[in-house]
Amino acid sequence: MFVYKTQIRLHDTDAAGIIFFANQFKLIHDAYEQLMEKSGWSFQRIFKAGLFFLPVVHAESDFKAPLFTGDKIAVTIKVGHIGNTSFVLEYMLKRSKKLIGTAKTVHVAINPKTRKKIPLPSYLIRILEKYQNER
């Protein structure tokens, strides 16, 4: 599993501790970017190479507990299913050991020119399998 640590900012939540739903997706996407960078495949590198894109085709999240400005959280990522053209990422957001949110995203590999599905590159599968096996 991959762990990304961050802090809740004023713009992430309201005074009641209710995180704006889109900001939970922002937090998990920041974690996803860090996972890719740590693995040697930053999105800058992926976009410059122009071999494939990985759009999110499905996303879901659940709010479990309040978050307040200044809270330090950890976002863990586990890789779920890895298919021929797609993969699933499962996220847990925790403050200390308390679960404060969950999310899931489904990503599909596409050809940047045709926008058609393509098989996941083998090196990407190897990266994903590393985080799948650490369950």
So what's the pLDDT on residue 134? 53
Euclidean distance between CA atoms 43 and 54, whole angstroms: 10
Using alpha carbons only, how large is the chain's radius of gyration in Å? Answer: 16
- Residues whose CB falls within 8 Å of the CB of residue 131, separated by 6 or more in sequence, listed in order: 1, 2, 35, 77, 78, 79
Active site (catalytic) residues: 14
So what's the pLDDT on residue 135? 44
Q: What are phi and psi of 129, to 5 degrees?
A: -60, -30
Euclidean distance between CA atoms 4 and 54, whole angstroms: 20
Euclidean distance between CA atoms 108 and 73, whole angstroms: 28
Euclidean distance between CA atoms 77 and 128, whole angstroms: 11
List the chain residues with pLDDT less than 70. Answer: 133-135
Domains contained in the chain, CATH given: 2-132 (3.10.129.10)
Give the global pTM. Answer: 0.90
> For 68-98, how does the pLDDT look when each residue is reduced to its tens digit (9 = 90+)?
889 999 999 999 999 999 999 999 999 999 9
